[in-house]
Structures are given as C-alpha cells and as structure tokens.
Structure 1
Amino acid sequence: MAEDVAERYLNELVERYMVLVGKRDASLKIKTCRMHDLVRDLCLSKAKQENFICNDVNNISSSTVGKVRRLASHDSFMMINHFKIPHLRSALFFDNTGQIVENLRDSSTLFNCLGIKWFDSDDDEVPEIFKAIALFLIAHRITGLVRYICKNFKLLRVLDFEGVPLIACKILADEDYINVPDDVFGRMERLRHLYLPKKILTKSKLKLDNLRNLQTLINFNTKDYRLGDLSCMKYLRRLGITTPFVVENFMEEDLNLNPSIITSKHLRSLSIIIGKDGSHVDPRHLTYLLSRCVNIYELELRVKISKLPEPQHISSNIASICLSLSELDEDPLPTLEKFPKLRVLELSDQAFTGNVMVCSAQGFPRLVSLSITSLENLEELKMHEGAMPSLQNLTIARCRKLKMLPVELKFITTLKELKLEEMPKAFKDKLVQGGEDYYKVQHVPSVIFQNCDDLVSDELL
C-alpha cells in the first residue's frame, strides 16, 4: 500500500535526522513529525530562489504567482481572483472557500488536485470544479447536499460529515420527505477515508459494500448501515463504531457459523463508543468482533460491556487499551496484564465498579503509561513487587475513595512522572515531603498535584 511506502520513507528521513519525531503512538509508529530547523530554512531558501514558494502575501506579484504550482490557504486568499496561475497543480483550503475556487480551473490547465478543509453551504449546488478534482472534503454544515455530493464527487478520497449535527437522508423539502437511495455512496469507489455523521435519518440501511478501498470508517453502526459490508473493505485500517452494534442471528455455540465481519488484515485501530441511543454492547458480539481483528494495536471501548473478553480473543499485538463507561464488575487488571505488548492503559468513568484492583508480579511488562480516572468505588490499588517494571507515567484522578498508593511503587525505578488530579487533600498530604507515604514517591522526578487542596475524602463527608 502507498501509505506503507510513505511510512518507510519517513522512517528513513528520521534515521538521517532530516525529520524530527514529534509524537509516537502506542506501537511506536510516528504520529507527528516536524522538519529540522536547519533543513526547513534551507528548503525555504532554495524554494524562494527558484520562485517555487511564496509565503509573504504582502509581496505578491504576477511574476511570483505565475510560477506557483502548489497553493495552501489558511484564510480567504483573494489573489486567485486577480492573477492567472498557469502552472498551478494543487490547492489546499483550510477555510470556507466560497467564490474563491471558481476561477481555479480557468487559471491552469494542469490543475488536478483540490482539498477543502471546511465546507459550509446552504445552496443546492457547488462549483463544477469540485466534482472533477476534489481530493478531500470536510463538511461543516450541509443542507440538502448529501445525495448531490455522493453522486458527483467521484474522485473524493476523504469525506468527513462528522461535524454536521444531522444529515437527513429523508431530506425535508416543503414539508415533504424525499428519500435518498440506500446506495447513495455507490459512485465513490475511490474513497479512502469516510467519517459518517453522528446522527442520520434513513428509511433503510445504507449500502457501503462498494467502498472497497476504504481505509478509515468512523461512526459506523448497525442501525443505519449493513454489518456485512465491512467484510468488503479489505484495506480497512481504522474502524470507529457507535452503538447500536448488533450481530443479527448470532450463533454462540460456534462463532465460525456467524457471518464474516472483518476481513482486512490491515486493521490497526478499533473503537466502540456509546451512541445517542445509550445502548450497551453484548459481550458475546464484542468477543466475536475482536476475535476477527487479529492485528489491531489500539482498542478503545467507551461503552457498557459488563465483562471483558478472554485474552485469547484479543490480538496479542495490542499496544493501547482505553476503557470507559464499561461498568466491569470484575477486576480488569488480571486480564489486561497478560498482553505482552501493552504500553498504554486508560481506565476512566466507571470502567470498573468494584473496590479493589490488583496487579501481580511481572504483570504489564511493557506498560509505559497508566491512567486511572473517575473510578468512584475504587478503594485499593494493590501491586506485587516486580509489577509494571517499565512504567514511566502514572495518572490518578477523581478516585476519591482511594486510600493510598501501593508501597510497591517505590520499586518502579523507571517512573518519571506521577500526576494526581482532584484527589482529597488528605491523600495529597500523605505524599508531600514529610508525609507518611512520601517514601513511596520520593524517587519520582516529577510529582504533580492539581486541584487537590480543596477536596475532602468521601469518608469525612
């Protein structure tokens, strides 16, 4: 895949110190990067000498603009309406473009790439140029354009409806409902990244089976879309599901008898988030879904599941797990500590409803970051010596019943930062210098307390 080749080239540039890594994800893949200052200055200098780039809009001339090949605009770039740009090949807009792009086609016969970061329209139509060459479109507000866009924007690679409050596929027009066909995405075979609206009104489930090149699919649910269509997406890398998520006619006795869901071997990230209906996910359906995601390394579950799937049903490559609103009755740590490559773990907002969590010796061998937030019933966090030997960052927030930090924390010599947010003042006083538990954290280079002074333990209320 082209993205894999690009990633390989990027890693090569990093190894040569021409590009600096900003952030890495849980699997240590590069998430953000930036150019080295010296390399950037050199590139800008050479580009200006060749009239390849102009970043000073106050000194624009017809001779300068005439050689521009690639244009990026962060606000209304009205110079397009005043100059011919015969060599222009691509343009990227970060604002609502309005009338600006209408002259682009006339400016250059070589123009073949257009990106719009923000599109806002109440009109029935959009400029013809959008149909032929738009590369990606992030919609902010669209009234009555869903069918129009999907029918005419055949070359789109990215389509983002996520910021639109509501898309009615029964479009209200003069108080009559016009039904959009279920194959509204039928002509968008080149689409690679689709961010579906968070709320949609449909008469029947929309078809996505022709989107065979899709790599990103966000806000998918089984109420508005067909579950079986996911199996057609052989290159899917990132899947975001909102509830409801239901596997119809589920066969619990033999999971292999159920219809295939995920066939992509490239899937790396999976999230399931509670939708507007507030429904939970059947643990059996979750187990079946995860058992088909053999290569994922990021898992986010922000939905009630009551019970974690057994480790054998979850990819051993998992590097990041986020659990929220899960309402687990059983301690999740004995299950989660068995994943050998897990580096990031977040438990928040009643992910666990019990009182005690225990981490065994040698548990979480590669865990680097642990965040425990808003577990209202948590009273004890126990660790055996040898647990979490690689831990670097520990955050505990809004766990007001937690009595103390485990004494075994003093054995974790890799710990660089301990952050406590909105914890009771009595809890904080034990950990400051001179406190009875200070010896547990005195080896940590950075201990941060945020908004702990005014809170009182629930035991004193």
Structure 2
Amino acid sequence: MAYASLLSLTQTLEQILHDPDDQCQVLHQQEEQIGRCLLEKVRFFLSFLEDHSQNNIETIRCLEGRIRVAAYEAEDIIESQIDTSDQIVSDSRNHCERCVEFRRYNLAKKYEKLQKVIQELDSISEQVVNMKDRNDVEILPPRNPFPAGSSKFGSSNKSDMVGFDDELMQVKDQLTGPSSKLKIISIVGMGGIGKTTFARNVYDDPLIKYHFDTRAWTTISQEYNVQKMLTDLLDSTSNIENLAEKLYKYLKGKRYLIVLDDMWDTKAWDEVQWLFPDDSNGSRIILTTRIADVAVYAGSSSAIHHLSCLNPEKSWNLLHQTVFGEECCPCELEEIGKEIAKNCKGLPLALVVIGGLLYKGKRTPDYWMYVEQNVNSAVIGTDDQFMEILLLSYNHLPHHLRACFLYMAVFPEDYEIRKSKLTKLWVAEGFIKPDRSKSLEAVADKYVEDLLDRNMILAHERSYTGKIKICRIHDLMRDLCVRKAQEENFLHLYDRLVKSFPEVTYNQRRVSIHSNNYGHHLEDTYGSQVRSLLYYSEETSLPTSFLLLRVLDGLRISFSEFSVEIVELVNLRYIVLTILKISETCELPASISKLCNLQTLIIYSLGTVKLPSDIWKMPRLRHIWTSTCFLAYPSAAGNGEKIAVLENLQTLKGVIDFKFTKKVLQMMPNLKKLKIGFSHPGADLSSQFRHSCADLSSCINKFIHLRQLEDLNCTFTYRSGGKFIRTLMENFHLPPTLKRLTLAGCRLSWKSMAIIGSLPNLEVLNLKYFIYDGLVWEPTEGNFLQLKVLLLRQTDLEHLKADETNFPSLQHLTFIDCRKLVEIPSAIGDIPTLQVIELSECSESAVNSVKLIQEEQRDLGNDNLQIIIHDSDMLNIDYRDLTGYVSALFNF
C-alpha cells in the first residue's frame, strides 16, 4: 500500500505547508525546507507508481514495501507529537491554530529523524532510476480507453445469467408447478459459481412476482450468530416470540416465496424452519448453499440443483457479454479471448472479474495475450487456483484503487455497505487524490463506480434515480481482500473465527473488530501507530494509547467519556459514536474544537445532542449527522479574530429549531445536504406563536442563499396554528440547485406546488404527513420537467388531474396511505419514461385504476411498466416489502 501511504503523507504535508489560515505564522526557513524537500520526493514516488507497470513484480514489491515503511515513519514523526498536553500556547488562539503551530514546532524538533527518512527515500529513488535505465519497468497502457464517465453493462448494472438457461427453467417450473405442499428448492454449488445471481434472477422474474402473494429475501452467511440475532431483536421488541409470531401470522394463508441465501449450517435451518407455515397453497422456499448436506437436511432432496462450472462455449459467451455487451468482439481478439475464458475453468465469478480487467484495458492483441498468459499461469491445478485468477484483477488495479478495494475487508461478511459511509471513510483515510474540479466525495464516488465496472464489488441497491446506495462484495473477493490486507500489513481483522491475537504488531495501522471476545487486549497487541479502529461488535473500548487515531467507527460510550477521552484524539478525522443512557439532552463540551482535523461527526443517541458554538471553530468539518441536535449559534468574533466559516461543510443532518439567518448561511457556503426539523409546543394562537411562525418563514426563505444545496429535508411538528404554517409556506423561496426535496408535516395548498415545480433541477420529491391542504391537485404545465421520482404519503388528496405533459421525465410514482385518493388518471401511464407505479394502503378504486393502467399499456405494447401493490394488513411491518422485515428478524 505504498501509494496510499504516500498520498496520505502528501495531504499531511500540504496541510502544514499551505494552511489557508492567515493568522498562522510562516514556517522558519529550515522547517519549510525539509517539509518541501520531503513533499517533492513523495510526489516523485506517487508519479512513479502511477505511470509505471509491474513487469518485475518482485522488484516492485520490495520497493513498494520500503516506500510504504518510509512514508509511515515520516507521518508518525510528524503526527506523534501533536498532543494536547504539549500545547502550551497563548489562550487567545483557538485550538486549530494551536494544532497548526504545534505541527510546525515538531517538524523542526524531529528534523534529524526526517532527514533519515529523506535519505532512505533518496536510496529508493536511486534504485528506481537504475531500474528505468535497465528497462525493468515500462509505461503502463491507458487504464480506460473509453470516455470519462462511461459505464459498463456488467454486474454493476444487471445480473443476467449466462449458461444456466435450462436450470432456470427447471426451477421456475418447480416454483409454479402444481404441487400444493410447501417445497424447499436448493441451489448448491461452489463459491463464485453464481448461486446468488441465479436465485436473484428467479426471484425478480415478473411471472414469479405475479404468481406469489408475497416474497422475501434474506442472506444468512457463515457468521450466523443466534446470540447477536436475539440482541438485535430485543432492540426493537421485548419478545422474540411475539415478533416471530407476527411473521408466521402474516404468512399464514398466503402463497409466499422465501429466499434463504448462503446458508452454511444446518443449525441455521433449525432456527427458522418453523416460521414458515405449510397451508398446501403452493408456497416455496429457495435455499442457496455451498454444502450439499445442508440442502438434504432442509428436506429438498428431490429439488436440489447443483450448479456446475460452465463449459468453454458458455464461458466465452459470459466473458464476451461482460466485456462487449451487445457489441461484436474484434476478430483479432476472439481466439485469445476464448483461451482466456477456457483458463478461467468455467467459474462465473472469475470470468466476470477477468472481464472487468479486459474492459478497462487496451483492446489490442498484445494486451489480451498478456492477460491470457497471466491467467494461464495462475491455473496450476491447486485448490487456490481460482483465488490466483481473482488476484490478477487486484494486481492490475490502478494504484489509487488498491487501498480502496482492500478497505472492503474491514466490513463483516455479507455486510451491506452504504456508499455514503464508504466514501467518507476513504476520504478520512487519505485514499482520495484531490481534483480541483470536484469534491473529494465526488472523486470517491467515481472510485466506487470504477470498482463496480471491474466487477470487484457488487451493486446491491440503487436509488430510484439509479445512483448506487448500497454495495457488497462477493465472499471470495472478500477472502482475497482479507488475505492481501494482512499480507501487506494494511489491516488486521479480528472476528469469532480468530482463535487468538497475532504476535504484537506495533506498526499495524488499521484494526477492525467483529467479535465481542477480543478480551480488551488491543493495547497490548497493537502499538500506538494505529490510525483506524472500527467496531462491528457490541463490546467496544477506546485504548488510551491510540492517540494517533484518524478513524473511530462504532464506539459506544457514556456521555462523560466524550470530554475525557475523545477530545484528546487531535488527529481524528472520522468518528461515529453511540452515546448510551441518555433520556433527554446532553451538551458536547467546548473542547470538541480540539479535534481540529475532524471531517465527519456522526452521533447516535436516545436523546437530543447539543452542539456547542465552538463547533464553528472546526473549519475542516465536512459532514455533521446526528439523530437530533440543537446547534448553538457561532460566537461573535473578537478583536483580531476571523469570522468562522465552515468552508468544507457539505452535510448537516438532524438539526432542530435552528434559525438560519443569512449571516449563518454564509458561514457554510458549500452545504449540499440539509435535514432540519421545526417544532413548537404552543397550543394556542398567541403572539409568541405568531412571532415564531414569522421567524420560521424568514428562515426558510433564507435557504435561497445556499447556492450549492442539492438535498433539503424539512419536517414540521407544530401541534397547532396550522393556518399560520400554511400562510408562510405559500410565500417561500428555494434554491434552484435543489435535486431532492422532502417536506413533512406542513400544511400547504396544492396551488403553491407551482413554486416547487418551477425548480429546474428537481429530480426527487417526497411529500409526507398531511403536507398539503386540499382535495384536488392539478399540476401546472411546464413544471416538474426533470422530476424522476414522486412520493406522496398520508395526504388528504382525492383527485390528481395530470397526464404525460405534467411529469415528462417521471420514472417512479408512489402513493402510501393516501386512503382518500379515488384513482390514478389513466393518462399517467402514457408518460414514456414511467417505470413503476407503487401503491400501499390506498383505496380499492385507486388500486383498480393502476391495474387498468397496466392493462392499457400492455395492449399498447408497453410491457415495461411495473405495478407494485402492497398489502395493508402488515401492521407495523415496513410497507415496502417483506424482505426488510425478514432480514431484521433473522439478522443474518
């Protein structure tokens, strides 16, 4: 991970040498000289790793190891002395200024040690020059010959099966066949053979959807843990039997389809089988497993489908589709491609991963021959042959993607990884190379898409607008991640399969804990150089010696621990906390501003968190997310002090009852996402309440000054005075940059929708909880030109008068708990872009109207319009589908 360590060191040095704060003193000549010298050498090695290939892998690997060690040592020298106990600086300066000044002080103090690092880098540089003179390295071919932003059509966008057509037909016949008894159908095969993709194709088939009353999918995985399942369940219900009984009663009498994906143990089947009633109505269970005995034990001996490796012809078909899609393969590449496919030994995962490599590489015979030779040498007849094939895809990743890929190992097996979390972690780790034209998060988003294009990770869930929301990684690819991460000393993973800690590793940088049984030995096992500590377990602790932490994820603490322990971590960039045992409110200490490098602050709590005014003295903050919080106003600037500006703040979520004045909004000029709540306890129409409404109206209108705002979520929880809220909401102004708008709880006439409809970039509109006052909505023609998603929930709307001219770009239309809605106009079905109409808890006449729309569209030759109608008798179960409920129940 030489590249990642160099990139991180570059950002640290640039922060010291080019800090934008005008009040900071310039470096002394000697200090600046050594800093710039080190930065110049680091940039040289970054350029070398970016521009040169790895023909001589062993030589390059040795060099990378030395570069990584030198970069880590330099960063340790610079950061190790940034300790609050040494910050004896004038109290007139804020903590961030003290941190910067002290960085400079210690750069001089550690001059000799840094000189030794520079000498080591000079030695490595000399070796690199000699290698280039001997032609041991050569310029890499272009990584992506396609235009920027192009996206492939492989697993990142769809999951078509190639080579299993007969098996698919057999399973579909068994699912819809005449047998009325509950039937278990098992899909058995080795890892990477395509069991999950096979099951997903069956599960998503339109005829299968139509055949069953309800469907659900849950992933079990190897880490099945009954104790954790019970613990998680008790967070949402006091009695597991009650929750299980609710599921049983819901399934009772329905023809259902349940998919239990990736089952490893017969005990897991014992835990769940009793939840599925057999009413002799044709219900089915699909079970995927690598272990045939599990399938037999589950009682599916007459319906076991063994997926075998693809033959050479089918292998080539899959590889061809992955690389070229519907295009033709150039004649000069076809024979080489068939050899590559043959060498993948028929394993679909290997084929799509190598296909991703070919897709991103040059389409020349020389490059393809190079890949063919490497794939062929990887297949040596051992049990690890497929892992060696997958390793090729890692070895050919651009350097900037390698650390990002290996970072997937920090997450548990089958973990659903939110892209927003992943990219924030990458930014905090220093993996993202700055681009002046884009934010770091935008660059990180591109990295995610690049890994998807290469089939290194999987798209698990996309938003209605097609953007990736949740990704996952295949078990075998995760095994590769874990292996390489530990080989390269990138990460140590501790889970329940690890019987003991390794020998003391004082140079370990990242630790991820997946088990409660780590015995609180972190401090004894790892040295003080640990930069990242991530918890995916119930038990957590914060070792006092981990003072250089940048990432702290999943820590559970009592409120008193915050000021005592966490504020000492002045290098911290990313923190996710759960504060325990809070019933009302807690106020974070003013000393939080000591965390002058903090980028992401996420706090989960049972009560409301109070953020102090000192939060405005943390200019590197990029994201603030809380369950609910009160945000203090910034303190007035004193003599000689600059006005605080959160220049980098992009996300502010969970804030309630904050008065956004123009002056305050100018202090967060780059805010992109804002989630706020407004409430008032008043029960009368007093002057105080009227004044509050006037303030709120003024506040909302100030949002026009947020010139980068793309996502706005406003919730109103006033318990009286609805007419005042209605009045203020008829005269509001919103920034034209908005792409996503959520409004909940306010009262607004349907006529005022023209204000929202005129927003030129609006793509998603979510309106909830009696937000509008009126029975008829007739959209204005020429509005909502870019709207792709419209969701209405719990409104009094009775009639929607709209056609294809009102929402010309609409893709997804949803009505939830709109019980007074009479019908959906048939002309809505004529919108050419419309893909889905979804109804839940609506009137029977509304349901019938959408069914009629679907019939009319089919008569016109449009078979693409999907109608989703959810049952209304699921009580508190998530309205969208049963899958989330089952996953929560089993929590596999």
TM-score (norm 1): 0.72
**Given the alignment of the two structures, is residue 304 of structure 1 paired with residue 752 of structure 2, yes or no?**
no
TM superposition shift of 1:8:
2.1
Tell me, in whole angstroms, the C-alpha distance in 1 between the residues paired with 2:798 and 2:842.
11
Tell me, in whole angstroms, the C-alpha distance in 1 between the residues paired with 2:440 and 2:731.
30
Task: Identify the residue that residue 668 of structure 2 maps to in structure 1.
Answer: 233
- 1:422 corresponds, among 849, 857, 872, to 872
Of residues 279-288 and 210-219 in structure 1, the stretch that sits farther from structure 2 once superposed is 279-288
| Contact persistence 2:506–2:529 (CA under 8 A) | yes
**Given the alignment of the two structures, is residue 72 of structure 1 paired with residue 512 of structure 2, yes or no?**
yes
Matched letter for residue 397 of structure 1: S
| Contact persistence 2:628–2:654 (CA under 8 A) | yes
Closer/same/farther in 2, CA of residues 51 and 112 from structure 1, 3 Å limit: closer
| Contact persistence 1:270–1:300 (CA under 8 A) | yes
Closer/same/farther in 2, CA of residues 199 and 279 from structure 1, 3 Å limit: farther
Task: Specify which structure has the higher proportion of helix.
Answer: 2
**Given the alignment of the two structures, is residue 166 of structure 1 paired with residue 632 of structure 2, yes or no?**
no
Tell me, in whole angstroms, the C-alpha distance in 1 between the residues paired with 2:728 and 2:550.
42
Tell me, in whole angstroms, the C-alpha distance in 2 between the residues paired with 1:259 and 1:360.
31
Task: Identify the residue that residue 46 of structure 1 maps to in structure 2.
Answer: 484
Task: Identify the residue that residue 219 of structure 1 maps to in structure 2.
Answer: 654
Matched letter for residue 212 of structure 1: E
* SS class of match (1:100): coil
Q: What whole-Å deviation, never above 9, does each CA across 1:174-205 have from its counterpart, x for those lacking one?
A: xxxxxxxx7342322222222356365x9xx6
Task: Identify the residue that residue 189 of structure 1 maps to in structure 2.
Answer: 619
The sequence identity of aligned pairs, in percent, is: 20
TM superposition shift of 1:81:
3.0
Closer/same/farther in 2, CA of residues 150 and 285 from structure 1, 3 Å limit: farther
* SS class of match (1:47): helix
Tell me, in whole angstroms, the C-alpha distance in 1 between the residues paired with 2:543 and 2:865.
53
TM superposition shift of 1:146:
1.4
TM superposition shift of 1:85:
2.6
TM superposition shift of 1:322:
1.0
* SS class of match (1:22): strand
Tell me, in whole angstroms, the C-alpha distance in 1 between the residues paired with 2:843 and 2:593.
54
Task: Identify the residue that residue 398 of structure 1 maps to in structure 2.
Answer: 841
TM superposition shift of 1:314:
4.0
**Given the alignment of the two structures, is residue 376 of structure 1 paired with residue 819 of structure 2, yes or no?**
yes
TM superposition shift of 1:151:
4.0
Closer/same/farther in 2, CA of residues 74 and 337 from structure 1, 3 Å limit: farther
**Given the alignment of the two structures, is residue 343 of structure 1 paired with residue 783 of structure 2, yes or no?**
no
Task: Identify the residue that residue 432 of structure 1 maps to in structure 2.
Answer: none
Aligned pairs for 1:150-165 within 5 A: 150-161=592-603, 163-165=605-607
| Contact persistence 1:235–1:266 (CA under 8 A) | yes
Closer/same/farther in 2, CA of residues 236 and 363 from structure 1, 3 Å limit: same
Q: Determine which structure has more spread, i.e. the larger CA radius of gyration.
A: 2
| Contact persistence 1:361–1:383 (CA under 8 A) | no
Matched letter for residue 712 of structure 2: L
Closer/same/farther in 2, CA of residues 64 and 289 from structure 1, 3 Å limit: farther
**Given the alignment of the two structures, is residue 11 of structure 1 paired with residue 454 of structure 2, yes or no?**
no
Matched letter for residue 865 of structure 2: L
Task: Identify the residue that residue 435 of structure 1 maps to in structure 2.
Answer: none
Of residues 111-120 and 139-148 in structure 1, the stretch that sits farther from structure 2 once superposed is 139-148
* SS class of match (2:617): coil
| Contact persistence 1:74–1:94 (CA under 8 A) | yes
Closer/same/farther in 2, CA of residues 265 and 28 from structure 1, 3 Å limit: farther
Aligned pairs for 1:350-365 within 5 A: 350=795, 353-365=796-808
| Contact persistence 1:370–1:394 (CA under 8 A) | yes
Tell me, in whole angstroms, the C-alpha distance in 2 between the residues paired with 1:123 and 1:196.
18
Task: Specify which structure has the higher proportion of strand.
Answer: 1
Closer/same/farther in 2, CA of residues 59 and 365 from structure 1, 3 Å limit: same
* SS class of match (1:241): strand
Closer/same/farther in 2, CA of residues 276 and 119 from structure 1, 3 Å limit: farther
| Contact persistence 1:19–1:36 (CA under 8 A) | yes
> How many residues align structurally?
397
TM superposition shift of 1:335:
4.5
| Contact persistence 1:243–1:278 (CA under 8 A) | no
| Contact persistence 2:819–2:841 (CA under 8 A) | yes
Of residues 121-130 and 227-236 in structure 1, the stretch that sits farther from structure 2 once superposed is 121-130
Q: What whole-Å deviation, never above 9, does each CA across 1:76-113 have from its counterpart, x for those lacking one?
A: 542313223355232223567765321323xxxxx341
| Contact persistence 1:17–1:36 (CA under 8 A) | no
Matched letter for residue 321 of structure 1: L
| Contact persistence 2:493–2:513 (CA under 8 A) | no
TM superposition shift of 1:372:
1.0
Q: What whole-Å deviation, never above 9, does each CA across 1:395-444 have from its counterpart, x for those lacking one?
A: 22222363631533323331234223228xxxxxxxxxxxxxxxxxxxxx
Q: What whole-Å deviation, never above 9, does each CA across 1:147-193 have from its counterpart, x for those lacking one?
A: 24534433332233453413468xxxxxxxxxxxx734232222222
Task: Identify the residue that residue 436 of structure 1 maps to in structure 2.
Answer: none
Tell me, in whole angstroms, the C-alpha distance in 2 between the residues paired with 1:3 and 1:330.
42
- 1:318 corresponds, among 751, 762, 779, to 762
| Contact persistence 1:218–1:239 (CA under 8 A) | yes
Matched letter for residue 14 of structure 1: L
Closer/same/farther in 2, CA of residues 144 and 21 from structure 1, 3 Å limit: closer
| Contact persistence 2:493–2:512 (CA under 8 A) | no
Tell me, in whole angstroms, the C-alpha distance in 1 between the residues paired with 2:824 and 2:560.
57
Matched letter for residue 560 of structure 2: D
Tell me, in whole angstroms, the C-alpha distance in 2 between the residues paired with 1:314 and 1:48.
54
Tell me, in whole angstroms, the C-alpha distance in 1 between the residues paired with 2:713 and 2:765.
10
TM superposition shift of 1:236:
1.0
Matched letter for residue 653 of structure 2: I
TM superposition shift of 1:272:
0.9
- 2:459 corresponds, among 21, 31, 49, to 21
- CA RMSD across the alignment: 3.8
| Contact persistence 1:290–1:314 (CA under 8 A) | no
Tell me, in whole angstroms, the C-alpha distance in 1 between the residues paired with 2:825 and 2:786.
22
Task: Identify the residue that residue 831 of structure 2 maps to in structure 1.
Answer: 388
Task: Identify the residue that residue 82 of structure 1 maps to in structure 2.
Answer: 524
Closer/same/farther in 2, CA of residues 388 and 79 from structure 1, 3 Å limit: farther
Tell me, in whole angstroms, the C-alpha distance in 1 between the residues paired with 2:741 and 2:566.
41
| Contact persistence 1:396–1:421 (CA under 8 A) | no
* SS class of match (1:14): helix
Closer/same/farther in 2, CA of residues 279 and 421 from structure 1, 3 Å limit: farther
**Given the alignment of the two structures, is residue 207 of structure 1 paired with residue 634 of structure 2, yes or no?**
yes
| Contact persistence 1:191–1:213 (CA under 8 A) | yes
Matched letter for residue 155 of structure 1: N
Tell me, in whole angstroms, the C-alpha distance in 2 between the residues paired with 1:385 and 1:189.
48
Closer/same/farther in 2, CA of residues 264 and 4 from structure 1, 3 Å limit: farther
TM superposition shift of 1:59:
4.0
Task: Identify the residue that residue 577 of structure 2 maps to in structure 1.
Answer: 138
Task: Identify the residue that residue 33 of structure 1 maps to in structure 2.
Answer: 471
TM superposition shift of 1:348:
0.9
Task: Identify the residue that residue 551 of structure 2 maps to in structure 1.
Answer: 114
| Contact persistence 2:815–2:838 (CA under 8 A) | yes
- Which consecutive unaligned segments of at least 5 residues does structure 2 have? 1-438, 636-643, 680-691, 874-879, 883-892
TM-score (norm 2): 0.40
TM superposition shift of 1:384:
2.0
Q: What whole-Å deviation, never above 9, does each CA across 1:344-397 have from its counterpart, x for those lacking one?
A: 2211112xx242223314443333322212123222322227533333332222
